[in-house]
Every structure is written in structure tokens, then in C-alpha cells.
């Protein structure tokens, strides 16, 4: 079965060594951050206005898919404010006491970054409400009828929360953020600029069309673009003179099974099984997962979002359906009995994603 963390086109965090490289490639200033122009402009106003007034900025919530730059922006916010950054995550804070320990040690103006904030434990989440609004927490001492709540003032701070599941955030928590931004997927031209910049930092000689090739297969995600660049660099160093040409980039990405649209082996296996074994669908999630030897959650969480975003697969109340674009991408023709054969595909008519008819 596929481990999502082993996928070259996964936007999830890498191992320790890869994380060190990613950190070295991160921009350090807001002006150096590529893409997300509207978010950068809005965030710049929030930060500089607070600096002019000598006040702590409002709390910031960043939402969007993994690998789009939420952690980088949190680091930039701290740097722009000239303050240290404290980093933690929702899953790491299991109890209210864990959060109180973090909050009580914050210095005035410090920036606290909470990744995956939607996964905070409920007691910690309720404590965070008061901390964000009044810069105070109530520490409960004792248990049962004799328990006592001791109010504890904390230094004014700025919370930067990051989430890939904004819909899972409770309303009271979301409402306490003064600035909420959604990070969009990047355009190929923006990713090409990122690839060129990363190549300079990695001392990799890369041709313009080679950078465009890497960018075009990066699924709109800077983290994937940087990862593909490093694999292309490895290929160039071992099998050529180290310079990355267009032909060499294509050969390297073909070896790593990343095609022209950014699909990898798992993505193509899902589409191929859907079309070859089930005539393009509709077919239930668990049946489709079994056909490719994966868990339903792997197919639903790891492969499907990108395939749907690319217009290659549709989730309908009756099951998963391959679109005409999917048939064309794999060079296959829909069977005459397929509802896709000879028709234009209207995704607006196939709403709903509650498909689990075979479970």
C-alpha cells in the first residue's frame, strides 16, 4: 500500500533532512514571498499598521492546502514584527494545561504559531478563547467541588493559526481572528519563479524551459516544486554534468513517474482502474480502493482532491466517475455504454460527495 509521505508529489512534511532543506529555501521577508499577492498586500497592511501604532497585531488565521506557505508566512510575520516565533501544533496540545504552559511563558509581542489548529482538544480550545480576547487564562487547581479557578494574566501576543480544514474550526474560535486569509494554489508562472529562485539557492544550473517543466508538474504547490527540483538535480548530477536541461528534466520526472499534469503512479492507477475495470463509473469508493490495493481513506484523502481539482474525476451520489478529460489523458476511449461516451461533461449536474454506496 502507498504511504502518503513517500509520494514525491505529496505536499505533506518531509523527513528531518528534507525539512532542513525546505527551511533554507523559505523566503525571510514579505517582499520576497512569491505568489498570494492579495494575501501579502492585506497582511502587510495589518502588520505595518500595528507597528505604527505600537500595538500587537490582530490574530491571524491562514487556511489552505498543505505546502502552500502557511508556515513560511508565520515565520515572516514574526520577522516583520521583530519578535521571536513559538511553534506548536493542535495535536501536540492534548490538555488545557499544555496550552496554559505555553501561553504563560510567552513574552510581550511574541508570535505563537499553531499548525493544524482545527485539531486542538476541546478544553484547550475553550481556554484559547479567553487568551486571544482578554490575554488571560483560568488555571483550574484541584478536582471536583473543591476545584478553584485561578486567573492568570498573560502577555499580549499574536496567534497565527494554520489549518487545512477551515470548515472544522468552531465559529467562536474563527471569530476571534482579526485577519483570515485563504491560500490558493499557485499558477505555473509563479511556481516557475519559485523553481528558479530555489535553483539559485541550491546552486543548480537550470534552463528556463526546464524550470517551466518542473513548475508545470508541481500540482500548484511550492513544496512539491522544490521537491521535484531536488530530484531533478539528483538525476542531473548522477547521469549528466549537473546542468538541468529541458530534456533531462523530462527524463528525470518520467523516471520518478510524475507525468505532464503532475499525476503520479497512485493517481493514474485510480483513474486506470476506474476506466478499465468499471467502464468509467459510477463506482463506490471502497470498491475503487480495493481495485488498486489501497485503503479507502488513502484514495479519498491522498488521490481524489487533486484528480477532482484537475477535472479528471467527479464525486457523485452514485459513485466516482471518470470525466472525458481523464479518458483523453490516459489515451483511452469511453465504451459505448458509458454515459461519458460522445457527450460533454457538466460537473455542475453531478453534485454531492457522500458516495459510499458499497459500504
Q: Is 176 annotated as a binding residue?
A: yes
Q: Distance (Å, rounded) from C-alpha 319 to C-alpha 333?
A: 20
Q: Distance (Å, rounded) from C-alpha 150 to C-alpha 141?
A: 7
Nearest to 269 by CA among 322, 338, 219: 322
Q: Is 178 annotated as a binding residue?
A: no
Nearest to 355 by CA among 276, 294, 279, 299: 299
Q: Is 135 annotated as a binding residue?
A: yes
Q: Is 309 annotated as a binding residue?
A: no
Q: Is 71 annotated as a binding residue?
A: yes
Q: At what angle do helices 188-201 and 208-216 cross, to 10 degrees?
A: 120
Q: Distance (Å, rounded) from C-alpha 267 to C-alpha 309?
A: 12
Q: Is 148 annotated as a binding residue?
A: no
Q: Is 133 annotated as a binding residue?
A: yes
Q: Is 68 annotated as a binding residue?
A: no
- Give the CA-trace dihedral at 126, 130, 135, 141, to 10 degrees: -70
Q: Distance (Å, rounded) from C-alpha 194 to C-alpha 216?
A: 12
**Structure-block grid coordinates of residue 322:** 471518470
Peptide bond into 282 cis (omega under 30): yes
Nearest to 119 by CA among 160, 50, 169: 169
Active site residues: 70-71, 115, 164, 223
Contact 76, 27 (CB under 8 A): yes
Q: Is 350 annotated as a binding residue?
A: no
Question: Residue ranges for the binding site for Mg(2+)?
Answer: 71
Question: Residue ranges for the binding site for ATP?
Answer: 25-26, 67, 70-72, 133-135, 176, 186, 223
Question: Residue ranges for the binding site?
Answer: 25-26, 67, 70-72, 133-135, 176, 186, 223, 315, 320
Question: Residue ranges for the binding site for DNA?
Answer: 315, 320
Amino acid at each position: 500500500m502507498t504511504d502518503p509521505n513517500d509520494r514525491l508529489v505529496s505536499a505533506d512534511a518531509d523527513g528531518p533532512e528534507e525539512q532542513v532543506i525546505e527551511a533554507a529555501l523559505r523566503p525571510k521577508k514579505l517582499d520576497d514571498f512569491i505568489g498570494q499577492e492579495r494575501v501579502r498586500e492585506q497582511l502587510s497592511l495589518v502588520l505595518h499598521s500595528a507597528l505604527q501604532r505600537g500595538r500587537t497585531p490582530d490574530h491571524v488565521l491562514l487556511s489552505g492546502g498543505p505546502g502552500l506557505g502557511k508556515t513560511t508566512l508565520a515565520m515572516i510575520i514574526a520577522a516583520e514584527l521583530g519578535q521571536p516565533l513559538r511553534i506548536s501544533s493542535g495535536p501536540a496540545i492534548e490538555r488545557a494545561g499544555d496550552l496554559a504552559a505555553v501561553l504563560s511563558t510567552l513574552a510581550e509581542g511574541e508570535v505563537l504559531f499553531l499548525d493544524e489548529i482545527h485539531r486542538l482538544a476541546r478544553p484547550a480550545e475553550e481556554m484559547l478563547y479567553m487568551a486571544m480576547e482578554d490575554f488571560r487564562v483560568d488555571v483550574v487547581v484541584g478536582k471536583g467541588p473543591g476545584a478553584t479557578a485561578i486567573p492568570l494574566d498573560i502577555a499580549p501576543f499574536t496567534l497565527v493559526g494554520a489549518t487545512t480544514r477551515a470548515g472544522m474550526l468552531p465559529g467562536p474560535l474563527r471569530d476571534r481572528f482579526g485577519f483570515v486569509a485563504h491560500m490558493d494554489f499557485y499558477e505555473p508562472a509563479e511556481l516557475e519563479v519559485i523553481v528558479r529562485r530555489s535553483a539559485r539557492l541550491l546552486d543548480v544550473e537550470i534552463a528556463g524551459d526546464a524550470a517551466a517543466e518542473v513548475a508545470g508538474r508541481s500540482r500548484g504547490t511550492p513544496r512539491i516544486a522544490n521537491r521535484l527540483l531536488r530530484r531533478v538535480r539528483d538525476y542531473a548530477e548522477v547521469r549528466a554534468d549537473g546542468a538541468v536541461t529541458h530534456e533531462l528534466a523530462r527524463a528525470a520526472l518520467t523516471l520518478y513517474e510524475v507525468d505532464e499534469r503532475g499525476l503520479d503512479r497512485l493517481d493514474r492507477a485510480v483513474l486506470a482502474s476506474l476506466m478499465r475495470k468499471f467502464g468509467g463509473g459510477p463506482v463506490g469508493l471502497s470498491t475503487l480502493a480495493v481495485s488498486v490495493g489501497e485503503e479507502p481513506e488513502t484514495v479519498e484523502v491522498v488521490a481524489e482532491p487533486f484528480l477532482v481539482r484537475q477535472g479528471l474525476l467527479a464525486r457523485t451520489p452514485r459513485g466516482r466517475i471518470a470525466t472525458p478529460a481523464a479518458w483523453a489523458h490516459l489515451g483511452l476511449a469511453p465504451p459505448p455504454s458509458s454515459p461519458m461516451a460522445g457527450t460533454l461533461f457538466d460537473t455542475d449536474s453531478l453534485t454531492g460527495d457522500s458516495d459510499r454506496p458499497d459500504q
